[in-house]
Amino acid sequence: MIPQNFRSQNGRGLTLNPRVSPQRFTPEQRERLFLTGLLAAEAEAYAAWLGDGYRLPTVTEWRAIYRCFQSIKLNCHSGKDAGIQSQGCEALGSSGSSAVTHSLPSLDAGFRLPCRNDGVLSQNENSWPTPCAAALLRRLEAQVRPQTLLDFSLLRGGVVEWVRDGNTWTGLGAPRPSFKPNLWNPLSDTVPPIRPNQRLAFFGARWVRNMVKIP
């Protein structure tokens, strides 16, 4: 259960970008899948509530994940040899043992999307994804036609996400121009809010968790 103070405070942000059903969203509503309008301090408080090790990523970590996901080719919709082709994500190890919690559950090269022989995402009741996640992924796949995990995760074409930059917070991301006109390159540009307590409809968060490496 989400803490009451988080829900009551973020109720203000929900009016900026109202939620939409993950099973019925249209291409124009895609950004409404994200929880936006929250402040950086609220995102940090929610990470603390999630448990030990959860936090906002740093600028370096977020960009390492971005580059990694950009290198992972998807062919789930190709109708043949469905799955993930990875060129490697060594950059993730150099930036700390973190994993994105709101993306696909594994970065291993052997992980495969649950696809039928015709390349369409399938659903197994005894495994990931859950029915709700499967419906979201199928609809997202049909709309985005992702070529890389970067597209599927909406790190590109999603929202601006809160990240740690030293002792302060800033934003990284490149939303669709139809949602938020911009020319930001998240690998070189940061998006600091003009006022620290300003709620913005295009600002969200993606939490990471520190993972212990197994020898």
pLDDT, one tens digit per residue, over 149-160 is 999 899 999 999
pLDDT of res. 14: 59
pTM of the model: 0.74
Residue 204 class from Cβ within 10 Å (0-12 exposed, 13-18 middle, 19+ buried)?
A: buried
Q: What angle do CA 121, 117, 111 make, to 5 degrees?
A: 60
pLDDT of res. 22: 80
Share above pLDDT 90 across residues of the chain, in percent, rounded to a whole number = 38
Phi and psi at residue 174, in whole multiples of 5°?
A: -140, 85
Rounded CA separation 122/159 (Å)? 27
Inform me whether the pLDDT recorded for 163 exceeds 60. yes
Higher per-residue pLDDT: 205 or 16? 205
Higher per-residue pLDDT: 215 or 165? 165
Inform me whether the pLDDT recorded for 111 exceeds 70. no
pLDDT of res. 205: 93
What is the average pLDDT value for the chain, to the nearest integer? 75
Higher per-residue pLDDT: 154 or 122? 154
**pLDDT class of 73 with cuts at 50, 70, 90:** confident
Rounded CA separation 24/136 (Å)? 8
Average the pLDDT over 94-118 and give the result: 37
